[in-house]
Structure 1
Amino acid sequence: MSLPPLLDDGLGPNLETYLFYAREQRDKEAAEARKEGHRPPTGWLSELLGLNRLADTASVVSDEKKAGSDEATLAVSPAEYRAASSSLRTATWGAIFYLITTDILGPYTASYAFSQVGYGPGVACFVVFGVMAAYSGILLWHMYLKLDSDRFPLRSFGDLGYRIFGNWFRILCNVLQSLQLIFNVGIIILGNGQGLSQVAKFKLCFSVCNIVWTLAGMIMGQIRTLQKFGWVANFAIWLNVIVIVMTMGAVAHTAPNYEAALATYNITAGPVHTVAINPQPFQPQLNGIMQIVFSYGGAMIFIEFMAEMRRPMDFWKAMACAQVFITVVYMFFGLFVYTYQGQFVINPANQGISLYSLQAATNIISFTASVIAAALYGNIGVKVIYQNVLMELFHAPPLTAKSGKYLFAVSVIVYWGLAFVIGSAVPQFTNISSLVAAVCIFQFSYTFPPFMILGYLVQVDAMSEDRSYDIKNPRASRIDSWWNLSRWVRGYKKHFIFNTWNLLVFLACLATAALASYTSITSIISGFQTGTSAPSFGCRSPLQTS
């Protein structure tokens, strides 16, 4: 993301400017919605099944077709550019629902979470984390509508953070986002590598299994636009549902995978035990809870999704449906598998099937879905690095230029190579996913949104006694500055209870994330020291006993 364009006075836009143009943008979208009121009504089911595809969406030219000569680019006026930017917003809330739920890790890690904490704490955590994730999503949606416009578009979580707290917060968001995305891809390579080693009956070197999926991702990752991921994401979620159903059927009628449990947890075959509350030490319990956090890890890219929506005001529908789907389906699946496999649950769950035919079938189906998810994560991850590092620091060409396309292709290859190193260097699926959840996902889904809404409201409420905004003199409205205590008091007291609530939530989440990060790191170290982990870049699969 490049910084917003300067105003006539040579300075960057202030918050008042963002708010002014965002109000104009929302009014324009509301007028367009009323204008289109004569169209046949469309229901929620049509949106979710993808049956409602407007003709104008099909007519939109994708961004890579806009590339032209430098002279042609310079000939485009700012007004024309803003119109073109607006026309590229084509995604419906139904399509965004599929993108949010294109998650390969969430459902398959849920049963492991229950095995670590038990039925009671597991259900409580799933519900509480689901409610708080929805709360954070609403906060992000509200701030997006208040600060986004065609003139000053929001494109990423870092963009939103920049408008509220400045460049330091933007850099922090972009670093954590880049880490989360590349670690997500690395974890998917690791999970698929484990699955392929099972399909090959451990006759194929584990590192080679990881290389196979790295190469597949390098090819799939050449897709440059999220627009082209819409139908693919639709396909992926139904593949996940198929694997979920097959896994439930398998665990209900077959024994647990004792061999994998011995290799992973060093526990021998025996009766299945389930408990309401697991009395084990706090460290593994916290690692289990972080697997639940992974289920609600979509907030990091909510801004990217809203930026591609035709009507961002409808985002709440996609987010609400996705959170309900995740809470109900993932939790039910986790409870079901834990009930039948107890302490022998394997992470991811389908790799805990003991019958080879069903184990191989679920692995093969999940391969496709996970590569789609990894390509989605990688697509956004490469763009974040390309725009914030290559373009901003090294002045790389834009993605619409021919040379930019070539550089993007090379960046994808390097990105997936780094993800391979992550997945192969630390072949501990549970511990590394817990670390990512604690360091990155927890911040975007729970820590940052309350902190951001606090900063946003304090600044907006401080404007309550300012003069009216003048578009010709955007910096003349304030009656005092942030060096004056009066502005801080005025900004905080209007929503005192709500601001205090968000401050407490922010501090609690920050403490939880720090504790969970420490726990995950110590678990990774312990895994290598005790020998329960497979060797780095080795040929032995983490699910293999010898």
Structure 2
Amino acid sequence: MGVVAHSPPNFVATQASFGDAFGPGPVMTFAGTPPAGKASGGSGFLGSMNGLNQAVYSYGGCLIFAAFMAEMRHPMDFWKALLCGEIFIYACYLVFGLYVYSFQGQYAFNPVMQGLSPYWWQTATNILGLVTGLIAAGLYGNIGMKVLYVELLQGVFGAPALTEAAGKMLWAGLIPVYWTIAFIVGAAVPQFSLISGFIGALFILSFTYTLPALLGVGFWIRKDAMVPEEETFDPAMGRYAYVDGGFRRYWRGFMKRPFFNTWNIVYMLGGLVTTALGMYSSIEGLIAAFNGKSQATSFGCASPV
């Protein structure tokens, strides 16, 4: 933040990545949606959605929190740390984003380290970004691969358990494949913000906002539809005796918490709409990224930054 306040934006990076319109010039900031050509993330509605696709990373990941809890020695301590962490992160991201934009305006760059013009400061922050990125990638990659292995490969395709020697060997072989695919996808797209925005809209946003609301509706309707006085569960056979079924049963469960369930449905629909709009804006941006106007190319060795 100190470097941003005492040095100009990295005009070389912005011009190489976004064209001559983002070459050296006066910094301009806007309280509302910037006019065309005055934001590196795009113009108008598409630019605003691309910004939202980046912001979702700050607050995403609800479903994987359950997997984190399963890995912890004291799982119930997690939600307390999560609450404190989210409050702190929320404040930091808001302040940091407003601060950088106030000094760099339309030249604000993602990732922010590449927007610094002093080379040594850029290198130092790149090192910090590389270390924190590797930690995050290793953490989420390990949890994500474990969920994929246990739920899909082991549960559906009958792969050996991770506690067995064959399972450990298969796991060790899948990890390089996972990172190879990630590298190919990252190198194939010339604009970092667009591929991260597409992933944010399709996965991070869906798994944080859409699916939790959908699962919440399903869980509470099924739970509230039970009739403990008349329905029984046979643990020996693993069977639950229902007194009814179909729409009548689901409606009874829904009406036990009508406002709560309605809110979850509206919340889920809002998540679906935002996901669709985010994917649309990212795809439009990806199409524009491959139109030859940017110096950044797929699988290029020389970075324009």
Contact kept, 8 Å, 2:213 with 2:264, in 1: the verdict is yes
1:81 aligned residue: none
| Letter in structure 1 aligned against 2:273 | A
Give the whole-Å Cα distance in 1 for the aligned partners of 2:9 and 2:265. 45
Contact 1:353 1:359 (8 Å CA) reproduced: yes
Of 378, 382, 391, which residue of structure 1 is paired with 2:145? 382
Distance 1:377 1:268, change over 3 A: same
CA 1:479/1:533 → structure 2, altered by over 3 Å: closer, same or farther?
Answer: farther
Matched AA of 1:264:
S
Aligned to 2:8: 255
2:31 corresponds to 1:273: no
Q: Which residue of 2 aligns with 1:238?
A: none
For residue 32 of structure 2, give the secondary structure of its aligned residue in structure 1.
coil
| 2:251 aligned residue | 489
Deviation at 1:383, TM superposition (A): 2.0
Q: Conserved in 2, the CA contact under 8 Å of 1:427 and 1:542? A: no
Equivalent residues in 2 for 1:464-543 (5 A)?
A: 464=227, 466-467=229-230, 469-472=232-235, 475-481=239-245, 483=246, 485-532=247-294, 534-543=296-305
The answer as to whether partners of 1:428 and 1:542 remain within 8 angstroms in 2 is: no
> How much does 1:538 deviate?
1.5
Corresponding residue for 2:40?
none
Separation in 1 of the partners of 2:216 and 2:144?
25
**Does the CA-based 8 Å contact 2:234-2:240 persist in structure 1?**
no
| Alpha-carbon displacement from aligned partner over 1:30-74 (angstroms, at most 9, x marks no partner) | xxxxxxxxxxxxxxxxxxxxxxxxxxxxxxxxxxxxxxxxxxxxx
C-alpha displacement of 1:474: 5.6
Partners of 1:372 and 1:462 in 2: CA distance: 44
What is the DSSP-based 3-state SS (H/G/I as helix, E as strand, rest coil) of the residue aligned with 1:536?
coil
1:168-187 matched pairs, under 5 angstroms: none
Q: 1:533 to 1:401 in 2, by over 3 A?
A: farther
Q: 1:415 to 1:344 in 2, by over 3 A?
A: same
Q: Number of paired residues? A: 294
Counterpart amino acid of residue 268 in structure 1: G
Alpha-carbon distance in structure 2 between the residues aligned to 1:478 and 1:329: 50
CA contact (8 A) 2:296 2:304 kept: yes
Question: Aligned runs of 1:319-330 on 2, under 5 Å?
Answer: 319-330=82-93
Letter in structure 2 aligned against 1:297 = G
Aligned to 2:164: 401
Q: 1:104-134 deviations in whole A, cap 9, x for unaligned?
A: xxxxxxxxxxxxxxxxxxxxxxxxxxxxxxx
- The one of 169, 183, 186 aligned to 1:420: 183
Task: Give, in whole Å, the separation in 2 of the partners of 1:471 and 1:542.
Answer: 66
SS at match of 1:346: coil
In the alignment, the residues of structure 1 paired with residue 301 and residue 119 of structure 2 have an alpha-carbon distance, to the nearest angstrom, of 21
TM-score (norm 2): 0.90
1:348 aligns to 2:85 (yes or no):
no
Question: What percentage of residue pairs aligned between the two structures are identical?
Answer: 46
1:287 counterpart SS class:
helix
For 2:71, the equivalent position in structure 1 comes to 308
Q: Aligned to 1:538, what secondary structure does the other structure show?
A: coil
Closer/same/farther in 2, CA of residues 312 and 388 from structure 1, 3 Å limit: closer
Partners of 2:240 and 2:199 in 1: CA distance: 44
Partners in 2 of 1:297 and 1:522 — Cα distance? 23
In the TM superposition, residue 442 of structure 1 has moved relative to its aligned partner by: 0.7
> 1:522–1:476: structure 2 CA closer, same or farther, 3 Å change rule?
closer
Question: Map of 1:94-243 to 2, 5 A cutoff?
Answer: none
RMSD in angstroms over aligned alpha carbons?
Answer: 1.9
Question: Structure 1 residues 264, 411: closer, same or farther in 2, change over 3 A?
Answer: same
SS state of the match for residue 244, structure 2?
coil
Aligned to 1:452: 215
| Whole-Å separation in 2 of the counterparts to 1:395 and 1:493 | 40
| 1:207-229 superposed Cα distances (whole Å, 9 cap, x missing partner) | xxxxxxxxxxxxxxxxxxxxxxx
Would you say the 8 A contact 1:290–1:516 is kept in 2?
yes
CA distance in 1, matches of 2:165, 2:96: 46
Shift of the alpha carbon at 1:477?
4.3
Superposed displacement of residue 393, structure 1: 4.7
The aligned residue for residue 331 of structure 1 is 94
Deviation (angstroms), 1:364: 1.4
Answer whether contact 1:293 1:437 (CA < 8 A) is retained: yes
Pairwise CA distance, 1:310: 3.9
Structure 1 pair 396/542, CA: closer, same or farther in 2 (3 Å)?
Answer: farther
Amino acid at match of 1:261: T
Letter in 2 for 1:414: V
What SS does the corresponding residue of 1:535 show, helix, strand or coil?
A: coil
Map 1:281-292 to 2 at 5 A.
281-292=44-55
Q: Distance in 2 between matches of 1:475 and 1:390?
A: 27
Cα distance in 2 for residues equivalent to 1:387 and 1:338:
43
Structure 2, unaligned runs of 5 or more: 36-43
SS in 2 for 1:529: coil
Query: What CA deviation, in whole Å up to 9, does each residue of 1:320-377 have, x standing for no partner?
Result: 1121122011111111111111111110111111011111111112211111111112
The Cα shift of 1:471 comes to 4.7
Counterpart contact for 1:428–1:533, Cα < 8 Å = no
